[in-house]
Structure 1
Amino acid sequence: MGSRFVNLLAMSCNGGPRHFSLHCLNPANLFRPARSRPALRAVHRRPADAPLPPPSLSFDWPCRKGEEAWMNFMAFGPGRENLLAVDQIGRSFLYNHDSRLLRTGMPKMRKPIIDPISVAVGDSLYVMSGNPGRLPDRGCFQALLNTRLPASHAQDWCWYSLQPPPFFADDDDGVDRSSCRDAPMPFEISAYAVVDDSQIWISTSGAGTYSYDIASGAWSKLGNWALPFRGRAEYIPEHNLWFGFTPDDLLLCTSDLTASCELRPPVLQDVWTDVNRPEDWTLTDASIVPLGSGQVCVARFFLTCPEESIEDVYGYALEKTESFAVLEGVKLLKAGWAHLRMVKHKSERYVFGRDLVIPL
């Protein structure tokens, strides 16, 4: 099932009180009718500016200077209709797009996780520290499940601690990791994906790639290679391929992860290099939202070059930048054996000013 929503989250950085605003967009607006042919765009043409819809929800973020505080946001559910917000002490808040209800009485996380990665499998959400370290503790990997509560007949949401990845167990496997030890964060998760709706794959530069089996709760090592993506890769069932972005330049790409084995890492099959943007646009991040029927929304996040700095009400220095997101509707079609053709439809730019736009 494809997503029915594209969520854009903005963190206020305009000098006033800090808060987060959730903007929900309809991805159908990025596609032309089936009978019309996508128009050819000039190479130098910028995406059309589109009005940012009013926020569906805003989260206050009281934070004094010098105080360690944060909020993380994660979308999950079959149609990405659920949005989970978690603060620095592990309190959870669940917002549902369909009902437009915010549930505040959610259970707390077993342990707060700063800067996590998250993957959705069915109705469940799996959350892991983005940098578990060589000896990760049990609180670095947790799952939010809607299940029967312990010692109760009621069913509700509950956080569970899961077995962390066993990076330390392979220190003596005969692999030379001397070059990895010089890396600033060798156990930072560089790429991750869900495979067969039953496994979660993660990659690090210092430990290779591991698989977590959801049913058994066991980890296994896939190889000393890394997934050929940056960040999360999304599975597109119509083509039996995983879509993501290249690690260095964030180009849209594909790979068949099931064709890999311990001695044969996954390779890229398609890489699209036709990304045109003005020179003063700095690409900071990118993500893919599968929409079903071979359609995807490609979201890219940009900043313009800073000119000067200002201070917010807490005294933090803020660069005078402009933040914006470019959303593009893309249809993926077969183009011969083992290749795809990317048909671009519409693209729209949403400007956030000095607010920082955060992908979900």
Structure 2
Amino acid sequence: MLDPPTGTTGRPKITSYACVVGSDIYISTRGNGSYCLDTEMNTWLQLAKEMPLPFFSGKLEYVPELKLWFGLSAEPSRRLLAAADLISSDSQPQLIGDWNEFTPPEGWLEYQEPQLVNLGSARFCISRFFHIRSMDNDNEVIDSVVVFTGVEVMPVGHNGDGNGKVKLRMEKHKSRCCVSGSTMICSIF
């Protein structure tokens, strides 16, 4: 087992990570910077004190057709599907876009972080976990629901500022609900 990166204090919380083509894995931590793990050489390299994956929380997925990274945004109140170019930029990565695929009805409260699955060819399935609360009876939980939404991200041209960056749009395909009653579903994929 590899030792943790030197210079870290305690056990840093990993906030986002990405497997890069080849042997590298990028890891961002809260408060201890970001690192690259070279799995062939079994070595850690500290990349920056600032997080290079600032827009994301959890696992990132690379879509080679678009040459972009996709993941769920780090902002807790808006866990949206987001895209960024993490490799080609010499400076801090820039967010390319973010999209809201599902807006829950009133009384639905998310009880767990959403999960993202890359289905290939810029298609994703996003699962969201909700408790449905009674509006009449002291906000009692009356049901648990998981919503699965299929989305596809497509290029729609360039942004017109001459830098060659592509504009994207998200197309929502379908949403399906799985009602679990009083059983709380914690993980899908």
Q: 2: distance between equivalents of 1:250 and 1:305?
A: 21
User: SS of the residue aligned with 1:165?
Assistant: coil
Greater relative CO, 1 or 2 (CA 8 Å, sep 6+):
1
CA offsets, 1:302-347, max 9 Å, x none?
2223767xxxxxxxxxx84532211111122111122211111111
Query: Contact 1:329–1:344 at 8 Å: present in 2 too?
Result: yes
Query: Which residue number corresponds to residue 230 of structure 1?
Result: 57
Q: 2: distance between equivalents of 1:330 and 1:207?
A: 34
User: SS of the residue aligned with 1:322?
Assistant: strand
Q: 2: distance between equivalents of 1:274 and 1:295?
A: 13
Choose which of 155, 165, 168 in structure 2 pairs with 1:334: 155
The yes-or-no answer on 1:290 pairing with 2:118 is yes
Query: Contact 1:186–1:204 at 8 Å: present in 2 too?
Result: no
Q: 2: distance between equivalents of 1:352 and 1:231?
A: 25
Choose which of 231, 241, 255 in structure 1 pairs with 2:84: 255
Query: Contact 2:116–2:126 at 8 Å: present in 1 too?
Result: yes
Deviation at 1:273, TM superposition (A): 3.7
Choose which of 20, 25, 37 in structure 2 pairs with 1:195: 20
Sort the Cα spacing of 1:197 and 1:347 in 2 relative to 1 into closer, same or farther, 3 A: farther
Sort the Cα spacing of 1:210 and 1:285 in 2 relative to 1 into closer, same or farther, 3 A: same
Query: Which residue number corresponds to residue 205 of structure 1?
Result: 30
Q: 2: distance between equivalents of 1:322 and 1:199?
A: 42
Q: 1: distance between equivalents of 2:56 and 2:142?
A: 28
Cα RMSD (Å): 2.5
Report 1:19-58 matches (<5 A): none
Choose which of 268, 275, 280 in structure 1 pairs with 2:107: 280
CA offsets, 1:274-310, max 9 Å, x none?
63221211123112211122221122222223767xx
Structure holding more strand per residue? 2
Q: 2: distance between equivalents of 1:273 and 1:291?
A: 18
The yes-or-no answer on 1:239 pairing with 2:66 is yes
Q: 2: distance between equivalents of 1:259 and 1:275?
A: 31
Q: 2: distance between equivalents of 1:350 and 1:293?
A: 26
Extract unaligned runs of 5+ from structure 2: 159-165
For normalisation by structure 1, the TM-score amounts to 0.44
Q: 2: distance between equivalents of 1:200 and 1:322?
A: 39
Q: 2: distance between equivalents of 1:225 and 1:323?
A: 38
Choose which of 160, 184, 189 in structure 2 pairs with 1:356: 184
User: SS of the residue aligned with 2:56?
Assistant: coil
Aligned length: 174
User: SS of the residue aligned with 1:356?
Assistant: coil
Aligned-partner residue type, residue 13 of structure 2 = E
The yes-or-no answer on 1:218 pairing with 2:43 is yes
For normalisation by structure 2, the TM-score amounts to 0.80
User: Highest Rg: 1 or 2?
Assistant: 1
Query: Which residue number corresponds to residue 175 of structure 1?
Result: none
Q: 2: distance between equivalents of 1:339 and 1:186?
A: 39
Structure holding more helix per residue? 1
CA offsets, 1:156-197, max 9 Å, x none?
xxxxx22323243xx8xxxxxxxxxxxxx9921111111114
The yes-or-no answer on 1:322 pairing with 2:143 is yes
Query: Contact 1:244–1:287 at 8 Å: present in 2 too?
Result: no
Question: Hey, which bits of structure 1, 4+ residues long, moved more than 3 A?
Answer: 305-308
Query: Contact 1:244–1:252 at 8 Å: present in 2 too?
Result: yes
CA offsets, 1:70-115, max 9 Å, x none?
xxxxxxxxxxxxxxxxxxxxxxxxxxxxxxxxxxxxxxxxxxxxxx
Query: Contact 2:2–2:42 at 8 Å: present in 1 too?
Result: yes
